[in-house]
Every structure is written in structure tokens, then in C-alpha cells.
């Protein structure tokens, strides 16, 4: 049976059966039997798929919008096991896909059949090294990429290289690692700059990024100790709950899906404050040794699924500092603001920084994804409608994506509104790591309108055009002890950026991309503070590049 299934998965539907048979029905039964016998009851090792791998995330999102699969897109990254199982589900209803989607599905199976068909299988993707036996699986690939820009301000470049690998041992253990060394001629994503590019800890024009971890998986969940990026909140532009803006940080992650109607996610992270603790810093033999203040985050997300394709998620988080690890914040189901009140009393001078959030994602209408995400720092319901006494510090993001409005053409509309002082707090408990805000990239007192058209005429060819208009109002200082009410939302625009772009990207092989991009950008106001020197003023920027692996 195992050989029969492997053959069926790598051939045209019905190629292994007599022509008089009902090929689609037999293939579905074959795939379903394999899924039951070998996937769900067999190996449960898992590693995470980089959130920068937009192509596979986009394909799963499209399939979910068409009601072919069900996903909980509020929390990323997904695991390779999860992606593989969803590709298997899509394969069983291949007759509902168009030609491009079928080709794209088979393209991704060349990679994720490693989870579905451990060992050797036909038409495997290119890997620098791949090994599998009954106990151990190992994959190694290189990372190499670069991009060149040209506009009125000159020529800039970004190049990177490294390696990544993942391995499974036994039925439950997964390990992965990824190292990238980056060089930029002109810094494009330094702290304080407004850009959707991920940040880095620059040393001159160089920075490196180490991701990876160890995981233990079972049929309905996994626990992991990793250093990686994560994204919480539905968005096609940029999430507003937790984003991958900062360099990756170490975290203990716990994910459970014990029932079809419920899913739970928890993370405890070790953030980087970069604030010197003078009481612990010291000098030895004339050499100063600086020690940073400790800084941590604990966050949970409860997702309820009352109907198929409708997800309602609620959660909360706390950023805490000036103490060692607090075991109360390792209890994943707690409401952390109440915990903070217990440990720090009723004084504003001692408390930590707590948040609440919720997210609604609806795919009840075929081809249509409607979503709304809200992040709450401070909420006073009595002043919600007041323009002079509003002390509500929150961010709200809403949008709609219509997949295949015409064959292979999708449209997305999205709006984000960040009230004054959202994401802000005292320096040691700021909602940030390495000084990069881990919420929305615009930070507080800002708004953005975003529109995107995506056309996929061929397998792995993505043509995208987009327009965005982002604005920021005055930058208000945060204080715990002074009156912070009555801060108006963008009462006058201090910074504005409009972008019109066109991108053509083709995935030649799995994880090997070539692309060309042109972008018209106009920045006005306080651009010297918020923009790289390379993007100040009115610019028309051309760029092209390639990458094996992800930026």
C-alpha cells in the first residue's frame, strides 16, 4: 500500500489504475487511507516555516479563502507538519483547482513530501544534502541572496549568505537552525525608521540573524524552545499585535489544538532591553562591562471556532522587567494584568506593561477573507467617544481579501488606525526588543490605507501592484505619573508617505526566487527622522535581485 500511495502522489491522477475506473474517487480514497494510517498516527516531529516564506503562506491562505482547507491564520509561523497536512487535504480535492493551482500544489509537495512520504520519493526538490532512515531525517541547504536598488539618491545594495538545516529524530523530536549574515551599503531598517523591512542589530552596515530551536510534537500540539520570529494578528500588509520587526528573540512556545472548535497558543520570550543596569555593571582591569536590564514577555491567544471558517481569538500579554523570571507568567492561561496588580500593588510607579487583544477572521463567504484585529494598551469605555478626554491607547486593523475575483487575480484592502501612545511605556518595559517595536511598524498616532492587486498567471509567477498612504501625527511623550488624556489622533500630519509599486517575482526552484521591483515613493514632513537617507523626498526606485533561502 505504501508504494502504491507514493506512486499515486507522484503521477497524474489515475495513472496507476485501469482506465475504466473512477480515477478521482479512487485517488481520494488512496490519499485519505495514507493520511489516516501514516500521517496522523505516525510521526509528529515538527519545525517551523519561516514567516518570510510568503509564497507558501499565500498559497495556503488562497486555499482557505476558497474553503478548500481551514487554517487559523492569526498565529504564525506554521509548522512544516501543519503545512504538509494541509497540502495533503488540498491534494484530495485536486479536481476543484485550476491548472495554475494544481501546478503550484505539486510544486510545494516536492518539498513537503518529506513529512508525508519520509524517505526517497520521486520528484523531490533540490537540497544541498538530504538524508533519511527509519530513525533520523536531515536536510541542509545554503542561503544566498542579494538585491540592488537605484534611484535619485544613488545605488544601494543588500547581500546575505548563510545556511539552514532541520532534522527529525524518532517520532517526536525536531531541531532546526538558520544563520544569515547580512550587509547593506546604506542602512534601510535601523531603529526609528518607518519601514516594513525587518530590523537588525547593525555593526556598521553588517548584521547577522540566528534562528532555530528544538521542538517536541504530538498529534494535537507541540512545545518548543526556539529563537525565531513570530506574527500574531491577521493582516496582508503588517500585523498589529506581534510582528517580526525586531531581531528574533528566544522564546518558549506552546501550541495546543485538542478539539476542532478550539486552539491555544502561548509564548514566553526573552526580550532585549539594551538599557544598562548600573547596579549590575562593573569594571575589571580598567575594562567596563555593561549589563542590561532583564526584559521578558508572556502572551497567550485563545481561538474559538463556533462555525467552520469563522475564528474568534482573544488573548493578553505582559512585558515585565526589573526582576528575575516570574513563575506566575509561565502559567499560560492567566490574565496577566491581574497578576501584575498582585505583585506590584496599586502604584503606577511599580507596575509592569500589560496588553489585551482580539482578532476576528471570517472566511464564511467563499473566496472572501474579512478580518479585524485590535491591540489594547489602555482602555476606558467611558471616554471612547470623547475627543478631549480620550485615554484609550489602542491599535485597530481591518481588511478584506477577495481571492480569484477573476481567475488568478486577488484584491486586498486594509486600514490600520493606531491611537496616540499605543505601544509606548517606560523604557525597560517598552513593547519592543532591541529598540524595535514588536507591534505595528508605524508605531503610535498613525494611520495607513493599503490596496493590493495580485495576479498569478503561471505557477510560481507572482505579479503584484500596490498603493499605500501612511500618516503620522505628533510624537507625544509617555509618562506614568503625568496626565496623558486628551491626546488627539493625527490632529495635524507631521510625516506622510505614499507608495505605488509593482513587483514581478518568479520562484524558479523551491526557495529560489528572482524578482524585479519598481516603486514610486513620496515622503514629506519629518522624513529625516523616520526615513533612511536613501528614501527621503520624492524617489523612483528600481530594484532587482535573487535569493536562495529567505531574507
Contact call for residues 48 and 176 (beta carbons, < 8 A): yes
Angle between helices 80-92 and 99-116 (to 10 degrees): 130
Give the domain CATH number at 252: 2.40.160.130
Domain of 45, in residue numbers: 35-548
Q: How far apart are CA 51 and CA 45, in angstroms?
A: 19
Report how many domains make up the chain. Answer: 1
Helix (H, G, I), strand (E, B) or coil at 140: strand
pLDDT of residue 322: 86
pLDDT of 16: 43
Report yes or no on 471 lying in a domain: yes
For strands 446-455 and 409-418, give the pairing.
Answer: antiparallel
* Domain annotation covers residue 14: no
Strand ranges (E), 341-392: 353-362, 368-378
For residue 13, being part of any structural domain is answered with no
- Return averaged pLDDT per consecutive 10 residues of the chain, 551 residues in all: 44 42 52 45 80 96 98 98 97 96 96 87 91 94 96 96 96 96 95 95 95 96 97 98 97 97 98 93 89 96 97 98 92 95 75 95 98 88 52 92 97 97 94 97 97 96 98 89 73 96 96 97 92 93 92 57
Q: What are phi and psi of 37, to 5 degrees?
A: -80, -35
Task: Indicate whether 30 belongs to any domain.
Answer: no
Assessment of whether the complete model's pTM goes beyond 0.85: yes
**Residue 348, pLDDT score:** 65
Is residue 152 a contact partner of residue 166, using CB atoms and an 8 Å limit?
Answer: no
Give the pLDDT score at 4. Answer: 40
Nearest to 217 by CA among 206, 208, 209, 225: 225
Place of cell 532583564: 294
Residue 43 lies in a domain: yes
Whether residue 95 is contained in a domain is answered as yes
Whether residue 462 lies inside any domain: the answer is yes
Check residue 22 and give its pLDDT: 53
| Residue 296 DSSP class | E
In a domain, 10, yes or no: no
How many other β-carbons are positioned within 10 Å of the β-carbon of residue 131? Answer: 11
Given CA atoms 191, 196, 200, 206 in this order, what sign does their dihedral have? negative
Amino acid at each position: 500500500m505504501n508504494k502504491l500511495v507514493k506512486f499515486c502522489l507522484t503521477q497524474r491522477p489515475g495513472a496507476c489504475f485501469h482506465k475504466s475506473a473512477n480515477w478521482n474517487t479512487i485517488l481520494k480514497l488512496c490519499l485519505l487511507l495514507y493520511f489516516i494510517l501514516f500521517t496522523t498516527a505516525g510521526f509528529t516531529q515538527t519545525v517551523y516555516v519561516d514567516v518570510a516564506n510568503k509564497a507558501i503562506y499565500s498559497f495556503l491562505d488562497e486555499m482557505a479563502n476558497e474553503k478548500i482547507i481551514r487554517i487559523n491564520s492569526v498565529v504564525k509561523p506554521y509548522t512544516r507538519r501543519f503545512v504538509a497536512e494541509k497540502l495533503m487535504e488540498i491534494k484530495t480535492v485536486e479536481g476543484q483547482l485550476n491548472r495554475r493551482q494544481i501546478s503550484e500544489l505539486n510544486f510545494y509537495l516536492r518539498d513537503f513530501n518529506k513529512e508525508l512520504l519520509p524517505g526517497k520519493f520521486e520528484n523531490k526538490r533540490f537540497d544541498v544534502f538530504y538524508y533519511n532512515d527509519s530513525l533520523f531525517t536531515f536536510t541542509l541547504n545554503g542561503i544566498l541572496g542579494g538585491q540592488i536598488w537605484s534611484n535619485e539618491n544613488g545605488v544601494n545594495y543588500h547581500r546575505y549568505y548563510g545556511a539552514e538545516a532541520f532534522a527529525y529524530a524518532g517520532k517526536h523530536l525536531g531541531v532546526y537552525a538558520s544563520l544569515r549574515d547580512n550587509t547593506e551599503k546604506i542602512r534601510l531598517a535601523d531603529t526609528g525608521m518607518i519601514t516594513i523591512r525587518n530590523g537588525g542589530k547593525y555593526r556598521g552596515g553588517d548584521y547577522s540573524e540566528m534562528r532555530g530551536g528544538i521542538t517536541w510534537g504530538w498529534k494535537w500540539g507541540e512545545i518548543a524552545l526556539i529563537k525565531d520570529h513570530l506574527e500574531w494578528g491577521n493582516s496582508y500588509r503588517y500585523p498589529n499585535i506581534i510582528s517580526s520587526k525586531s531581531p528574533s528573540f528566544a522564546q518558549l512556545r506552546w501550541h495546543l489544538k485538542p478539539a476542532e472548535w478550539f486552539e491555544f497558543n502561548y509564548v514566553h520570550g526573552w526580550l532585549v532591553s539594551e538599557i544598562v543596569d548600573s547596579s549590575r555593571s562593573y569594571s575589571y582591569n580598567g575594562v567596563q562591562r555593561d549589563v542590561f536590564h532583564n526584559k521578558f514577555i508572556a502572551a497567550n491567544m485563545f481561538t474559538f471556532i463556533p462555525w467552520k471558517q469563522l475564528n474568534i481569538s482573544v488573548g493578553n500579554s505582559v512585558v515585565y522587567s526589573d526582576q528575575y523570571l516570574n513563575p506566575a507568567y509561565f502559567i499560560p492561561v492567566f490574565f496577566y494584568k491581574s497578576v501584575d496588580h498582585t505583585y506590584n500593588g496599586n502604584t503606577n510607579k511599580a507596575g509592569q506593561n500589560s496588553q489585551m487583544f482580539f482578532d476576528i477572521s471570517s472566511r464564511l463567504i467563499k473566496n472572501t477573507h474579512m478580518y479585524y484585529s485590535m491591540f489594547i494598551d489602555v482602555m476606558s469605555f467611558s471616554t471612547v467617544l470623547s475627543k478631549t478626554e480620550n485615554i484609550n491607547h489602542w491599535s485597530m486593523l481591518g481588511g478584506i481579501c477577495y481571492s480569484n475575483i477573476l481567475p488568478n487575480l486577488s484584491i486586498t484592502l486594509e486600514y490600520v488606525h493606531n491611537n496616540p501612545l499605543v505601544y509606548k511605556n517606560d523604557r525597560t518595559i517598552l513593547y519592543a526588543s532591541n529598540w524595535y517595536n514588536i507591534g505595528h511598524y508605524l508605531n503610535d498616532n498613525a494611520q495607513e490605507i493599503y490596496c493590493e492587486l495580485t495576479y498569478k498567471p503561471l505557477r510560481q509567477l507572482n505579479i503584484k501592484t500596490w498603493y499605500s498612504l501612511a500618516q503620522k501625527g505628533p510624537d507625544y511623550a509617555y509618562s506614568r505619573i503625568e496626565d496623558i488624556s486628551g491626546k488627539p489622533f493625527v490632529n495635524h500630519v507631521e510625516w506622510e508617505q505614499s507608495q505605488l509599486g509593482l513587483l514581478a517575482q518568479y520562484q524558479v526552484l523551491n526557495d529560489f526566487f528572482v524578482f524585479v521591483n519598481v516603486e514610486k515613493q513620496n515622503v514629506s514632513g519629518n522624513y529625516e527622522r523616520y526615513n533612511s537617507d536613501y528614501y527621503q523626498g520624492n524617489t523612483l526606485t528600481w530594484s532587482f535581485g535573487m535569493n536562495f533561502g529567505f531574507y
